Amino acid sequence: MNSDTEVSPGDSSATGGVASAFKVVCRMCHGGCGTIVEMVGGTVSRVFGDKENPINRGALCSKAGVPSIEQLYHPDRLDYPLMRTGERGAGKWRRASWDEALDFIAEKMLAIRDQHGAEGVAFGRGTGVNNTHIVSRLANLFGTPNVTAIAYFCYGPRVAVAKVTASGNYSQRGWDTTPISDVYGKPRCVVQWGSQKRTSNDHGLIGHIPVTDALRENPVNIVVDPRKPNAAGPADIWLPLRPGTDAAMALGWMRVIIDEGLYDKEFVERYCHGFDELAERVKDYPLDKVAEITWCQPEEIARAARTYATTAPGCIIWGNGTDQLGNNTFQATRALLILMGITGNLDVPGGNVFYPAPKLEYPELWDKLSPEQEAKRIGGDRFKALNLTPYAYAHPPSLYHTMITDKPYPVKAYIVTGNNTVTCFPNTGRIIEAMKKLDLLVVMDMFMTPTAELADVVLPAAGNLERDEPRLHLHTKGPQATFMDTVSQKLVEIGERRSDWEFIIGLGRKLGYGEHFPSLEEFAEKSLKPMGTTWDKLKKMDHGIELPVQYRKYEKEGFGTPTGKFEIYSTIMEEWGYDPLPAHVEPAEGPVSTPERFEEYPLILNTGAKQPMFWHSQGRQLKSLRKLNAEPLVEINAKTAEAYGIKKGDYVWIETVRGRLRMRAHLHDQIHEKVVSIPHGWWLPEEPGPDRGVFEVCSNVLVDDDPDNCDVVLGSSPLKGLLCRISKAEAPARTISQRWKEAMAAE
């Protein structure tokens, strides 16, 4: 930034030929690092890290900066609403006005509601780089319980488990529902359990900074993960467990801890419900049995358990590793939470802490959805935890089956914002089949994704620097504060791109709910009121509002459960008809559950370890990012590869009973010899529609979508712990990298 450039946090009046600069939150992921956006003549010329921002202190990751400018001005960006003119998926479109597109959508929705009921219209929300709370508001007003989201296999398990076991209505009291690893509170032991923050981010932080800071203080570093290339710091103990056996591992730790009296007796006596039942339950998990289940050494399991229990405070960094285990997700995640509790590491500095949450008025209007309609939520009767607000969602795999079969009733419309459904959810082919059966598919996105290709109406989404959005974001900042900021501010206007809020407000008005859809500013003011601030004030702040962290809140407030205690034995689970204590359940597919299949498919497949340069399915059209990774790579242990005659860079077939993909080999020794790992989110924007390469590169071609193999409580899909086999493959005639280079050269 040159010295006479004025940096203004909230002023969006940059015009003329003079350079001006703005403090804006980065949204290339759902983090929120501080950036400075420099503009010349109304055009963004540079984006770089804000050194004064307490979160990222000037650092940006590979997805931010140049790629964000490339994304903003990319020639493939959607600039106008498009209506389908040819067969579905034939790529024939005409430009429409927003007004015409909204009229068309509203008319179709009303006709479907007349014929099939409001539940015949479903909405889809994505990972949440944009703010889509307002989608549920419209769904509730319209009367449909069918909104899909990624929460059932991403973060939702941690939220639901914490709600049931500990925090209940904490959010109304101003606390986050889920205990976050308090890496700022000087933990003496850090456990990275199925989460690798060097690539992913922790609750809105540029991932590696706080964890690296914490590790500088030399805590014991334990990694519980079948692979560890992206784990922070060298591990003191690495437990490369068999995928899907986390509940057994955690119960094994608890057995050691209880047998040896290493638990926090005062916390257990005063604040826990059901410790004695747990002590009984862990008798089923002696070390030798846990070692056999998890494929780890018994001595190492015991050493890790003792270390975590006796090196207080200790925090567990948890994540997708336990979110996405299929049938045992909820209980494995609950076992981790109980581990935090009985060792006295809950809500203490350096442990796992319920951080403050901003007290905002959220827009969903849950009370508008009648109990009769709510009871129709697809999957809600079966996967009870899906009905917990604010994570009340339909079960995606079951909903896609419903779209195909009309069972238990027809679902004929799907309105998707900010989600690349085709790449995101299991069984790519089935999702495409489901989308094709709809009477109305609306997709709002920045690019023509394989999901948008199948739509009747495609709407152009405004990105980060192109919208004002009344979303506030919470970040952990340091030992004593969390931090809240505005997210998006409009600096640039291109074509007719709109924010998702503007779309839903417009559609809500067309459907006759005008009184519930005031202007964006009114929404913002209303939601901020409980915080005692205004939208205008917040926009002008450099780094948002700070909220003080408080520890051991349970001493004064108790827990938010029916008993007011930390419910090791869950009364809610009991009432729902599930096992009130955690237990190990074998993955639906594996050496124990399907031994015959294991003979043919002798390796375990994990999908979707996050990649540093990509945010899920995004960024594949950006040269700056494809330069870092032009095509997906399969991670294989070097010894295993040798046994198969596979060398670095060779092409490899990865097969499950559901299909096969060919990827280049990336060999290393930081992965269990029996585990193979592939990235998720891949599609090839450079390839023709409608598939755009998904059957070549999308990991979900290999993933199981059978609801019977999903988690019994929340419906989470088994994205980890599947059976596969590998073999050396011929290189394709033209590799993906070559095709990408040719496509770029032809531009």
By CB under 6 A, tell whether 61 contacts ligand SF4. yes
Give the nearest distance from C-beta 356 to ligand SF4 in angstroms: 21
Site string for ligand MGD, 404-443 (x = CB under 6 A): -------------xxxx---x-------------------
Question: Per 3-state DSSP, what percentage of the chain is helix, strand, and coil (rounded to 5)?
Answer: 35, 20, 45
Cβ contacts of residue 129 below 8 Å, gap of 6+?
Answer: 27, 28, 29, 30, 418, 615
Q: Cα angle at 55 between 52 and 56, to 5 degrees?
A: 75
What ranges make up the beta strands (E) of 550-637? 566-567, 603-607, 633-637
Element (H, E) at 475: strand 469-478
Task: Select from ligand MGD, ligand SF4, Mo ion, none the partner in contact with residue 424, using the beta carbon and a kind-dependent cut-off of 5 to 8 Å.
Answer: ligand MGD
- Nearer to ligand SF4 among residue 61 and residue 222 (C-beta): 61
Stretch that binds ligand SF4, among 55-63, 138-146, 533-541, 542-550 (CB under 6 A): 55-63
Bond into 349 cis (ω within 30): no
By CB under 6 A, tell whether 193 contacts ligand MGD. yes
Stretch that binds ligand SF4, among 57-65, 117-125, 262-270, 585-593 (CB under 6 A): 57-65
Q: Would you say the C-alpha torsion 348, 349, 352, 358 has a positive or negative sign?
A: positive
By CB under 6 A, tell whether 461 contacts ligand MGD. yes
CA distance 418 to 464: 13
Cα-Cα-Cα-Cα torsion 209, 212, 217, 222, nearest 10 degrees, comes to: 140
Task: Select from Mo ion, ligand SF4, ligand MGD, none the partner in contact with residue 608, using the beta carbon and a kind-dependent cut-off of 5 to 8 Å.
Answer: ligand MGD
Stretch that binds ligand MGD, among 17-25, 39-47, 660-668, 674-682 (CB under 6 A): 674-682
End-to-end CA distance of the chain: 32
- β pairing state of 469-478 and 481-488: antiparallel
Kindly state the DSSP code that residue 443 receives in the 8-state scheme.
E
Task: Select from ligand SF4, ligand MGD, Mo ion, none the partner in contact with residue 197, using the beta carbon and a kind-dependent cut-off of 5 to 8 Å.
Answer: ligand MGD
Among 14, 21, 26, 411, binds ligand SF4 (CB under 6 A): 26
Cβ contacts of residue 467 below 8 Å, gap of 6+?
Answer: 488, 490, 498, 499, 501, 502
Cα-Cα-Cα-Cα torsion 550, 555, 559, 563, nearest 10 degrees, comes to: 180
Positions 135 through 154 that interact with ligand MGD (CB under 6 A): 150, 154
**Total residues contacting Mo ion (rule CB under 5 A)?**
1
Cα 124 from chain centroid? 14
What ranges make up the beta strands (E) of 638-681? 651-656, 659-668, 675-678
Task: Select from ligand SF4, ligand MGD, Mo ion, none the partner in contact with residue 506, using the beta carbon and a kind-dependent cut-off of 5 to 8 Å.
Answer: none
By CB under 6 A, tell whether 60 contacts ligand SF4. yes
Stretch that binds ligand SF4, among 27-35, 184-192, 270-278, 640-648 (CB under 6 A): 27-35
By CB under 6 A, tell whether 506 contacts ligand MGD. no
Radius of gyration of the chain (CA): 25
- Nearer to ligand MGD among residue 195 and residue 221 (C-beta): 195
- Nearer to ligand MGD among residue 267 and residue 318 (C-beta): 318
Q: Where does 387-467 have alpha helices with state H? A: 396-405, 421-424, 428-437
Give the nearest distance from C-beta 64 to ligand SF4 in angstroms: 4
Q: Which long-range contacts (CB under 8 A, 24 or more apart) does 83-86 make?
A: 83/456, 83/457, 84/455, 84/456, 84/457
Among 63, 125, 163, 510, binds ligand SF4 (CB under 6 A): 63
Among 14, 39, 64, 702, binds ligand SF4 (CB under 6 A): 64
If we measure between CA atoms, which residue out of 565, 539, 406, 405 comes closest to residue 468? Answer: 539
By CB under 5 A, tell whether 154 contacts Mo ion. yes
Site string for ligand MGD, 608-647 (x = CB under 6 A): xxxxx-xxxxx-----------------------------
Q: Is residue 586 exposed (0-12), middle (13-18) or buried (19+ Cβ within 10 Å)?
A: middle
List residues binding ligand MGD (CB under 6 A).
29, 126-127, 129-130, 150, 154-155, 193-197, 199-201, 224-227, 230, 241, 243-244, 246, 319-322, 324-325, 417-420, 424, 444-447, 449, 461, 463, 500, 606-612, 614-618, 677, 680-681, 699-700, 703, 719-721
- Residues making contact with Mo ion (CB under 5 A): 154
Chain positions contacting ligand SF4, by CB under 6 A: 26, 28-29, 31-33, 56, 60-61, 63-64, 201, 206
